[in-house]
């Protein structure tokens, strides 16, 4: 074996854990989301064929005859009032679509099932898939593993008539349009201040960076205490403007203020993080450029707009792209603090459909749309705000 081949194999072996992690936790979920967006996938039913059932007990409840009474009952009498579909759905606990119902009516051996029931052969726990395989003459594969039905573009068409999709998407876009420019400008100003040679600059950097590494849940709880009706903010405003008749506002439960309150919290949390990005960019700018500008008589304002900002263009593009992606995907603050549906964002609406409503197919379609929007906005940003080196 050649030395280059050995080196390549060794490299792949060492990188295999990372590659497998990326494939399992990144690539596979992306492919799965696109697939599920075209199906009626219901996560609550994913394990329905793996659930355990005791056929004897289920039949006792369905027919009303218990084990010690079966000797006095004929097979014909059991068959007379027995409906297999009702038994499967209500007593075994399996939701059936129309195709499955047709297959059961056609191929399920009801006579064998009732015969085994009468002979007391079913008093044991078994998987639903095993039970169905034993009594289906054909099509037993349909009941071995849950496979969602392919429904084409129905999930995407549903969005046009879903008012909460429009509301959540509008809120996410509004959130990004306000937060991204403000946090970018604030981060630049903080970076310029942190880059200056003044006393206590290390403390200044640390103070503004701490929120970005603090738990989102903890910050949300702090701001809940600030924004609540008897909270700190209302107390301060009452102290200053009580003479003018100011009344406390429930900032997070009032639809007209809730989303903007979250925006302020997000700007405060992320500006310090992006400050570090701009600080790195500022430290790459040669001091000689500033010295030459001052010798030529340039004022501080002109230096900032004509030298600092143009030379930070790569960092500004990066911050705008990452900020836009983060804002369009905002979830945790909305989950912790927003209690009304008028202020939800698209990420939170995806969560509600997937894990509260059980509509994983529709949630996947919403996620695909969000993916497309983020991809388009990122492409536009890179197209019209090209990096300069």
For each of the chain's 389 residues, which pLDDT tens digit applies?
A: 678 888 888 888 888 999 899 888 889 999 999 999 999 998 878 888 889 999 999 998 888 888 788 888 888 888 888 899 999 999 998 888 888 999 999 999 999 999 999 888 888 999 999 999 999 988 888 898 888 889 999 999 999 999 999 999 999 999 999 999 999 999 999 898 888 777 777 787 788 888 888 888 889 999 999 998 888 999 999 998 888 888 888 899 888 899 999 999 999 999 888 998 999 898 888 888 888 988 888 888 888 888 888 889 889 989 999 999 999 999 989 999 988 889 999 999 999 999 888 899 999 999 999 999 999 988 888 777 665 54
Do residues 132 and 173 share a domain?
no
In this structure, is residue 153 part of a structural domain?
Answer: no
Domain endpoint, select from 112, 143, 174: 143
Q: Of 177, 220, 165, which is closest to residue 335 (Cα–Cα)?
A: 220
188 and 306 together in one domain = yes
Q: Is residue 217 part of a domain?
A: yes
Q: Which long-range contacts (CB under 8 A, 24 or more apart) does 145-150 make?
A: 145/49, 146/45, 146/46, 146/47, 146/48, 146/49, 148/36, 148/39, 148/40, 148/41, 148/42, 148/361, 149/39, 149/40, 149/97, 150/38, 150/39
Residues 135 and 269 in one domain: no
In a domain, 389, yes or no: no
**Spatial distance between the Cα atoms of 175 and 351, rounded to a whole number of angstroms:** 18
Angstrom distance (rounded) from CA 235 to CA 232: 5
- Statement to judge: residues 100 and 25 lie in one domain: no
Burial 67-96 (b: 16+ CB within 10 A, else e): eeebeeeeeeebeeebebeebbbebbebeb
Q: Is 130 exposed, middle or buried (0-12, 13-18, 19+ CB in 10 A)?
A: middle
One domain for residues 25 and 64: no
Cα-based distances in Å from 199 to 74, 162, 202, 277, 300? 97, 56, 8, 22, 20
- The rounded distance, in Å, linking the Cα atoms of 17 and 4 is 21
Q: Are 127 and 165 in a shared domain?
A: no
Domain assignment of residue 80, given as a range: 52-143
Query: Does 277 fall in a domain?
Result: yes
CB neighbour list of residue 62: distance below 8 Å, 6 or more residues apart: 82, 86, 87, 90, 91
Domain boundary among 102, 119, 143: 143
So what's the pLDDT on residue 167? 94
User: Cβ(144)–Cβ(133) under 8 Å?
Assistant: yes
Token pair, residue 284, equals: 């790459």
DSSP E strand stretches across the chain: 52-53, 126-127
Task: Please tell me whether residues 57 and 25 are part of one structural domain.
Answer: no
Q: What is the largest CA-CA distance in the chain?
A: 111
Q: Tokens at residue 357, please?
A: 């409503």
Question: What's the total number of domains in the chain?
Answer: 3
My answer on whether 128 and 175 are in the same domain is no
Q: Quick one: pLDDT at residue 388?
A: 54
The pLDDT assigned to 54 comes to 93
Residues 368, 317 within the same domain: yes
In a domain, 46, yes or no: no
* 79 domain residue, yes or no: yes
Classify residue 108 by its DSSP letter: B
Are 58 and 8 contained in the same domain? no
pLDDT of residue 386: 63
- pLDDT recorded at residue 328: 92
Please give the model's pTM, rounded to 2 decimal places. 0.82
> Has residue 43 been placed in a domain?
no
The CATH number for 323's domain is 1.10.3720.10
Whether residue 127 sits in one domain with residue 168: no
Last residue of a domain, one of 91, 120, 143: 143
Has residue 44 been placed in a domain?
no
Same domain assignment for residues 255 and 197: yes
The reported pLDDT for the residue numbered 6 is 83
């Amino acid at each position: 074996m050649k030395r280059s081949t050995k080196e390549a194999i060794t490299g792949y072996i060492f990188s295999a854990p990372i590659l497998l992690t990326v494939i399992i936790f990144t690539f596979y979920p992306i492919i799965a989301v696109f697939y599920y967006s075209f199906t009626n996938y219901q996560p609550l039913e994913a394990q329905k064929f793996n659930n355990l059932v005791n056929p004897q007990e289920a039949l006792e409840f369905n027919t009303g005859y218990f084990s010690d009474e079966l000797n006095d009952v004929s097979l014909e009498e059991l068959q007379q009032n027995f409906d297999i579909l009702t038994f499967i759905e209500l007593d075994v606990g399996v939701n059936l679509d129309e195709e499955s119902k047709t297959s059961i009516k056609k191929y399920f051996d009801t006579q064998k099932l009732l015969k085994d029931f009468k002979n007391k052969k079913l008093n044991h726990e078994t998987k639903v898939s095993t039970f169905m395989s034993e009594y289906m003459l054909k099509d037993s594969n349909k009941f071995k593993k849950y496979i969602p039905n392919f429904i084409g573009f129905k999930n995407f068409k549903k969005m046009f008539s879903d008012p909460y999709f429009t509301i959540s998407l509008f809120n996410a876009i509004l959130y990004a349009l306000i937060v991204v420019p403000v946090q970018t400008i604030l981060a630049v100003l903080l970076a310029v201040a942190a880059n200056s040679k003044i006393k206590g600059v290390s403390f200044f950097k640390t103070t503004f960076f701490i929120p970005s590494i603090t738990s989102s849940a903890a910050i949300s709880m702090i701001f809940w205490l600030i924004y609540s009706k008897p909270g700190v903010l209302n107390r301060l405003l009452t102290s200053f403007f009580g003479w003018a008749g100011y009344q406390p506002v429930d900032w997070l439960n009032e639809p007209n203020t809730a989303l903007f309150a979250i925006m302020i919290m997000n700007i405060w949390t992320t500006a310090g993080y992006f400050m570090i990005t701009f600080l790195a960019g500022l430290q790459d700018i040669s001091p000689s450029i500033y010295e030459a500008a001052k010798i030529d008589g340039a004022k501080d304002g002109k230096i900032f707009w004509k030298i600092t900002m143009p030379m930070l263009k790569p960092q500004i593009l990066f911050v705008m792209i990452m900020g836009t992606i983060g804002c369009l995907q905002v979830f945790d603050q909305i989950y912790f603090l927003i209690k009304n549906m008028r202020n939800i964002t698209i990420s939170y609406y995806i969560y509600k459909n997937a894990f509260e409503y059980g509509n994983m197919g529709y949630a996947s379609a919403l996620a695909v749309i969000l993916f497309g929007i983020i991809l388009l906005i990122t492409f536009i940003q890179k197209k019209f705000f090209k990096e300069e080196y």
